[in-house]
Structure 1
């Protein structure tokens, strides 16, 4: 009889272990996290979130996911509380409750992602799909319920913290004042949209002490009267280059365009087209890095999180510099002084020229990804394929960032100096993020 009970107990244990292994193959698969981030990216695109706001969506959602992972595996991952000075300690999980922390991480990402995007409930259908995957794979009901419960606890904590970042206050802040002074930014065709998020530099950063912590040199002064001035030469370079673009240069400009909302005007008709924002593009690249390096679930979450933090702070710093300099776009100068019919290859976005946002955020993200996955990683980026743009191959993340910066000159929306300085600025931000934040415990 005892022998029978022993055999029965062993059989039950083996069956339980097999079932556990079955559902964990689903919930612990890093591809599921990459898919989840892409889902949020799609929602951001569909609902036309501007690049700076999109970076906020990615940062808080990823931080929520990461804090769940850190709580579940404190031997290998360090909480961001205490590293991001204004983030308080996240509630600890109940040690007596079985929790699938990877599954809870996915859910926490979605809860926060659902709360910081609109329309409300955009991710609910996807959350239902995640839950069904776990249940169908055999996750025990107690582990399922405990995981859902803890994901909500962490998400609630992160959302309460996110609401103190000054975002709500900037919704009612004063608008940008447009003047016709030479050298100052004014709206550009075809939308002639008002300045985008002129107060974004007032948003609370995550790692930077303030938006102004990393200063940027002043741009060359406006001077179209002197053909030997730095400004005049910069304008001529943009026009000359735009008038004689090669197919390769056009491909670079299209690939990194990342215009979240482009207004197309054909005769009397107009329609909008959308792409990933620059931050969304780099979220995709973080996923590519994770896939190439065959990173496990925790490493994948950490990579997305640190990259999203770098993007968030890079946008805050960049926008502070932009609205401090208020520099005029090439299109405005060229059409006013040189050729009234001239248009850039890609559409000019509605905010000041200096410094290049894509240069800053790309360089910041590239530094984080290089520290995470290594340098000289050759990869093909097919992020733009869904928009009909062929993939491009890069020899490293830094190589991609440098091309992203230069693409803005080819596109006709930036002077070269704004891209060079922007890249330097972004590298400094990326370095600061990797120096201050220690996510993985070695």
Structure 2
């Protein structure tokens, strides 16, 4: 009876700590911290990637028959500390703590997840986790998290904090700051960050965009500009909804008269973190598979942003708003706010297509779902027949929003797909039976 009682108590706390919904909630907690503290999309992708990798490495160590460590699969990651076989560890609980440890370290203010970590620990204790299992799990999670943090510090992020600022070139066709913030160029050196799967930021090149030419009315560039202007001026209700749904602006400056205030949404990467969670829920993935799906998606997002930013600052292309207000209609405004970085290629197109390829690889090409990620911002849900269809809509939404030419979105989608395919080819998280 004592053995039966002990077994029941173990099952009780594992029902809590092994619930994949708890991991989805934990990722959302980090997403909220990223939103509240105005992290730009590229930096947000770094936060998600390292936190998820830390959680995954714990899972892989605890279940090596089903999951393969990322050490040796992604750039410069060495083998993580191995667990002591003589000590009982709840690896699911440890993975949650490892995620939060790294999430706390890579966000600011540092320690933003501390209260939530305390809640997780209390939840485990209240569910009956034995003190030795609790202590062993905390110790192992810390060991893995510290290993991931040491690796993360060599990705050139710190060096880019003090890199030279972007110099605005006001030659026609070059990007310049746009209203209402007229903000400096965002992260012009992000292409120098160490990728995880790509050999380099330039591994998957993009063709040159059409050259700037507003004198040839039959030229590709002129037609692209007019297309954006007319599209924004005649948006349907559904097109407006599409643009709002995929806006994902982490910091929109609203100006009313002499007053100004900011509104926040999830970044594009944060939106796709939510979609990854939806995929795991539909598939009824267990805890380990849920962590793996988030991790693969976050790696694809991270590398996609690095590639995209390399292309953006190499092309340095002007935004539609700048051209239209200067050459066609000074009173014209895009439907959504123009972000502070060059136009070509579309970041949302690249990262969405990359994430969609990974999720399609994990869950299939015919996973219909409803995305209610934006409901908390007062934006109605949208339905999609597949992850790829969602990515294609995300790309097109940037044209409806008036911040991209269609070519940047088409090329961005193609580039993102190639990155996603490469991630699928190079990474093997789940060990096939």
TM interval, short-chain normalised: over 0.9
Q: Does 1:334 align with 2:350?
A: no
* Matches for 1:137-152 after TM superposition, within 5 Å: 137-152=127-142
3-state SS of paired residue (1:264):
strand
Give 1:361's aligned residue: 351
Give 1:60's aligned residue: 50
Q: Does 1:187 align with 2:161?
A: no
3-state SS of paired residue (2:327):
helix
Give 1:5's aligned residue: none
Distance 1:224 1:413 in 2: 18
Give 1:313's aligned residue: 303
Q: Does 1:135 align with 2:125?
A: yes
* Matches for 1:30-109 after TM superposition, within 5 Å: 30-109=20-99
The answer to whether the 8 A contact 2:34-2:44 is kept is yes
Q: Which runs of 5+ in 2 are unaligned?
A: none
3-state SS of paired residue (1:78):
coil
* Matches for 1:273-422 after TM superposition, within 5 Å: 273-422=263-412
Give 2:108's aligned residue: 118
The answer to whether the 8 A contact 2:71-2:77 is kept is yes
Bigger CA radius of gyration? 1
The answer to whether the 8 A contact 2:75-2:195 is kept is no
After TM superposition, give the deviation of residue 401 of structure 1 in Å. Answer: 0.1
Distance 1:180 1:67 in 2: 47
Distance 1:432 1:142 in 2: 42
TM (norm. structure 1) is 0.98
Give 2:204's aligned residue: 214
After TM superposition, give the deviation of residue 376 of structure 1 in Å. Answer: 1.0
CA deviations on 1:96-145 (whole Å, 9 max, x unpaired) are 00000000000000000000000011000000000000000000000000
Distance 2:21 2:316 in 1: 42
CA deviations on 1:67-122 (whole Å, 9 max, x unpaired) are 00000000000000011141000010000000000000000000000000000110
TM (norm. structure 2) is 1.00
Give 2:150's aligned residue: 160
Q: Which runs of 5+ in 1 are unaligned?
A: 1-10
After TM superposition, give the deviation of residue 187 of structure 1 in Å. Answer: 0.1
Distance 2:246 2:361 in 1: 23
3-state SS of paired residue (1:265):
strand
Number of equivalent positions:
432
Give 1:233's aligned residue: 223
CA RMSD, aligned part only?
0.3
Distance 2:348 2:204 in 1: 17
Distance 1:194 1:437 in 2: 36
Distance 1:278 1:215 in 2: 22
